[in-house]
């Protein structure tokens, strides 16, 4: 009898079904969000990256088949190099099955992954291999109607003990931002 070691985690990640996606897309359209980069949201992401000491920070809106980073902060030198020395191309659009934000939106709860390799469900995610992401911290943007519009999140290329303070920071950041986003709709306010 021979022993076969467990196969890598590939294929274990299933992007959760998102029954709210059509309604979310309509809500984002009404708010004028999720279709183009916004300088104020980029500034928010830069602040969040500085606050958490993370190389990557995003304000992410989730559509039916994709994610859009309306706010994005990456290292000034460009994306962090992968172990092979190459630097991935970082854009504002990702398929829905990439990354961890779609899970946050469907779960409607913050997600803390100190080392994604510790979680077989997430270790096989394309952002782990393509972008070298090893840790993630994200919280949903839940508006006053109860809809999860997207996320605010940070990521790092090494394991990170985010701790309770990291969790509290990301949740408070999400709550503060959603108030500003809804203010746009009612008062025509400029973000930040």
Per residue in 64-108, pLDDT (tens digit) is: 999 999 999 998 777 777 677 777 777 899 988 888 999 999 999
Four-residue CA torsion sign, 175, 177, 150, 124:
negative
Task: Say yes or no to pLDDT of 191 above 60.
Answer: no
33 Cβ neighbours under 8 A, 6+ residues apart: 61, 70, 149, 150, 181
Higher pLDDT, 161 or 98: 161
Task: Say yes or no to pLDDT of 177 above 50.
Answer: yes
- 38-184 is classed in which CATH architecture? 2-Layer Sandwich (3.30)
For residues 104 and 110, give the distance between their C-alpha atoms in angstroms, rounded to a whole number: 6
Q: Count CB atoms within 10 A of the CB of residue 8.
A: 10
For residues 81 and 93, give the distance between their C-alpha atoms in angstroms, rounded to a whole number: 20
Region 181-189: what's the mean pLDDT? Answer: 68
Whose tokens are 């709709």? That residue is 185
Region 18-29: what's the mean pLDDT? Answer: 93
Task: Say yes or no to pLDDT of 4 above 60.
Answer: no
Q: How far is the CA of 153 from the CAs of 9, 162, 172, in angstroms? A: 23, 12, 12
Report the predicted TM-score, pTM, of the whole model to 2 decimal places: 0.85
Given a contact cutoff of 8 angstroms between Cβ atoms, the answer to whether 137 and 162 are in contact is yes
- What's residue 9's pLDDT? 42
Region 2-31: what's the mean pLDDT? Answer: 70
Tokens found for residue 190? 């400029």
Q: How far is the CA of 115 from the CAs of 57, 59, 83, 119, in angstroms? A: 17, 21, 16, 8
Query: Within its chain, how far is the Cα of 170 from the centroid?
Result: 11
């Amino acid at each position: 009898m021979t022993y076969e070691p467990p196969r890598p985690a590939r294929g274990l990640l299933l992007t959760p079904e998102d029954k709210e996606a059509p309604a979310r897309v309509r809500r984002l359209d009404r708010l004028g969000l999720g279709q183009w980069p916004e300088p104020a949201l980029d500034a928010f992401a830069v602040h969040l990256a500085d606050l958490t000491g993370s190389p990557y920070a995003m304000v992410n809106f989730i559509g039916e088949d994709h994610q859009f980073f309306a706010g994005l902060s990456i290292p000034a030198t460009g994306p962090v190099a992968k172990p092979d020395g190459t630097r991935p191309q970082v854009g504002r659009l990702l398929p829905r099955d990439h990354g961890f934000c779609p899970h946050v939106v469907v779960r409607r709860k913050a997600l803390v992954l100190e080392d994604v390799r510790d979680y077989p469900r997430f270790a096989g995610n394309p952002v782990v291999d393509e972008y070298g992401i090893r840790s993630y911290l994200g919280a949903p943007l839940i508006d006053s109607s109860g809809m999860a519009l997207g996320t605010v999140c940070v990521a790092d290329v090494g394991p990170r003990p985010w701790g309770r303070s990291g969790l509290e920071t990301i949740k408070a950041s999400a709550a503060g931002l959603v108030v500003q986003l809804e203010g746009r709709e009612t008062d025509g306010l400029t973000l930040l």
